[in-house]
Amino acid sequence: MIHPPEVSNLDVLSEALRRRTFAVISHPDAGKSTLTEALLLHAHAIDKAGAVHGKAGRRGTVSDWMAMEQARGISVTSAAIQFDYRDTVINLVDTPGHADFSEDTFRVLSAVDAAVMLVDASKGLEVQTMKLFDVCRQRGLPVITVINKWDRPGEDALALMDEIRARTGLIPTPLTWPVGISGDFRGVLDRRSGDYVRYTRTPGGATAAVEDRFSPADAETAEGDAWVTASEESSLLRVEGQDHDEARFLAGETTPVLFCAAVLNFGVQQLLETLVESAPPAEARADIAGRRRPVNAAFSGFVFKVQSGMNAAHRDHVAFVRVCSGVFHRGMVVTHAASGRPFATKYAQQMFGQERKTADEAWPGDVVGLINAASLRVGDSLYDQDPVEFPPMPLFAPEHFRVAHPADSSKHKQFRRGIDQLDHEGVIQVMRSELRGDQAPVLGAVGPMQFEVVEDRMTHDFGAAIRLEALPYQLARRTDRESAEILGHDRQVEVLLRSDGTLLALFSTPWRLRNTVRDHPELTLEDLATGSTAVPTDY
């Protein structure tokens, strides 16, 4: 057994204070992956941005490493990226941009300490952004708001502030204010110093934009009415009490706001500075009983994602572990809370999108990739010395259902292995029944695009192409054995066993569910998210 070297409490506390672990949340097409590249560029973690829009030779972004992501221009899986900026270690956990992958995004938000809410200047707060913001609010995550695409025509800046306040309940406290209306982005007024930061674009936005600072007097000479308007609007915000207050931000009462054009790398440096200066460091996290485990306690962490196919040459899979306390040393033997068994961490790596490097140690706030960790599942806790178990990851209620069949019946083993692996990763929910048999599992998804990921990965990762047959069900309810006996006689209801041992009753329509509850009020039919037995009334 490998015993980790002694580390002082002061070392752990010091390293935890250096960490900033956050996720970017947004509606699809708000520019999330482009912003990720721009942050890496300004931190000198890469020397050229991958998202050079409008160029025939456009490269894939660091965070969107899957072939499907690069082909479609959207994020469909989360990715962990660590880089240094000044004396701070930044852990950026990228999230899927599409609503169909909300479950993966929820898991990511359980592993971070803050969120950057990216808003398209022309569209304001969109549906998916608000859903993800609600998750942040439930988890008590401080939120930094970034208004993106100010280089394009869009809404009025003050109107956007009113919308943020009305729809989120947070008071927007801009740290920068745009000079020039949307579509005419010249620079920003730095509201903390009063200076004007003017941007000069670089060819294709592939390198960091040039920034020049001017005093207010020089700014008025250079920009005229645009500077005067920005100054007057900034003064109005100050009169309204919309200046940044760190304590209120961390308490979830306010949201700092910055303006940027990520594709041009305008305003990105200011976001990095804000993350370093204002975002919270790694702090004590609550366990399943609500007890907070100090960051300087013995090592602990939890798995928030499992991903295979990241290394095509080896077909391995990676368990992403958020370090919650103590120091992680590669090779240490920890305890797997779910089984009580020892778990060796011989192969541990830090991730930079798809790229990896050996992780000899990691501190609270860091994300470590444990390679070939076949026994680990999403939500599992790991610890050294003092036992701890962190809250489990909830499964979302599936709303779309397909029966999976192997396209080639001779590839039964590959088919079974692939389905089981995707279930293990949480890519899809897998249900079976004696009636359908093991060769025809039912797949449940939050959104239909999840099935596209399943088809793509079954073909390319496991060499077992599949056919999917749609089922006429719209919602699922948790049930029990006694209720299943009665439900099994209804043609518009099907009872299946999910891989975690949960019995699910699938209903063709909310109307069918209401009628079933009316005719058999004694049945157990619980909402998967709330545990409630209430039936839908909005149909």
In whole angstroms, give the CA distance from residue 281 to residue 112: 10
Please give the DSSP secondary-structure letter assigned to residue 526: B
Relative to beta strand 19-26, strand 88-94 is: parallel
Instruction: Say which range, 126-140, 321-335, 467-481, has the weakest mean pLDDT.
Output: 126-140
In whole angstroms, give the CA distance from residue 214 to residue 481: 72
DSSP H helical ranges for 189-281: 216-223, 225-239, 246-250, 268-278
153 labeled binding residue: no
Which residues are CB-contacts of 290 (< 8 A; sequence separation ≥ 6)? none
Query: Torsion angle of alpha carbons 408, 70, 398, 108, nearest 10°?
Result: 130
Residue 131 pLDDT class (50, 70, 90 cuts)? confident
479 labeled binding residue: no
Give the model's pLDDT for residue 260: 97
Residue with tokens 């798995």: 303
Give the model's pLDDT for residue 33: 84
Q: Which residue has the higher pLDDT, 154 or 102?
A: 154
Residue 142 pLDDT class (50, 70, 90 cuts)? very high
Residue with tokens 């938000």: 109
Contact 258, 273 (CB under 8 A): no
Residue with tokens 């485990």: 293
Residue 54 pLDDT class (50, 70, 90 cuts)? very low
**Residue 66 clears pLDDT 50, i.e. is over it:** no
Give the model's pLDDT for residue 492: 86
How does the average pLDDT of the chain come out, rounded?
Answer: 88
Q: Which domains does the chain have, with CATH numbers?
A: 9-278 (3.40.50.300), 285-383 (3.40.50.300), 400-519 (3.30.70.3280)
Give the model's pLDDT for residue 64: 44
Residue with tokens 């306390």: 325
Residue 352 pLDDT class (50, 70, 90 cuts)? low
Consecutive H or E run containing 190:
strand 187-190
What is the percentage of the chain residues whose pLDDT exceeds 70?
Answer: 88
- HEC-encoded secondary structure of 127-155: HHHHHHHHHHHHHCCCEEEEEECCCCCCC
In whole angstroms, give the CA distance from residue 208 to residue 322: 31
| Cα→Cα distances 153→150, 180, 200, 228, 408, Å | 7, 11, 19, 20, 51
Contact 301, 277 (CB under 8 A): no
Q: Which residue has the higher pLDDT, 46 or 249?
A: 249
End-to-end CA distance of the chain: 60
Mean pLDDT of 366-388: 91
**Residue 58 clears pLDDT 80, i.e. is over it:** no
Instruction: Say which range, 59-63, 285-289, 308-312, has the weakest mean pLDDT.
Output: 59-63
**Residue 315 clears pLDDT 80, i.e. is over it:** no
For the segment 473-528, what is each residue's pLDDT rounded down to a tens digit? 999 999 999 999 999 888 889 999 999 999 999 999 999 999 999 999 999 999 88
Which residues are CB-contacts of 151 (< 8 A; sequence separation ≥ 6)? 182, 183, 185, 261, 263, 264, 266
Residue 200 backbone dihedrals phi, psi, to 5 degrees: -125, 120
Determine whether 24 is exposed, middle or buried from the number of CB atoms within 10 Å of its CB (0-12, 13-18, 19+).
buried
Give the model's pLDDT for residue 5: 61
Determine whether 216 is exposed, middle or buried from the number of CB atoms within 10 Å of its CB (0-12, 13-18, 19+).
middle
Contact 354, 310 (CB under 8 A): yes
96 labeled binding residue: yes
Contact 93, 115 (CB under 8 A): no
Which residues are CB-contacts of 363 (< 8 A; sequence separation ≥ 6)? 12, 15, 16, 18, 19, 89, 282, 323, 327, 328
**Residue 451 clears pLDDT 90, i.e. is over it:** yes
Residue 256: both structure tokens together? 């700092």
Residue 312 pLDDT class (50, 70, 90 cuts)? low
Give the model's pLDDT for residue 424: 84
In whole angstroms, give the CA distance from residue 431 to residue 443: 6
95 labeled binding residue: yes
Amino acid at 87: D
For the segment 12-28, what is each residue's pLDDT rounded down to a tens digit? 999 999 999 999 998 88
Give the model's pLDDT for residue 241: 95
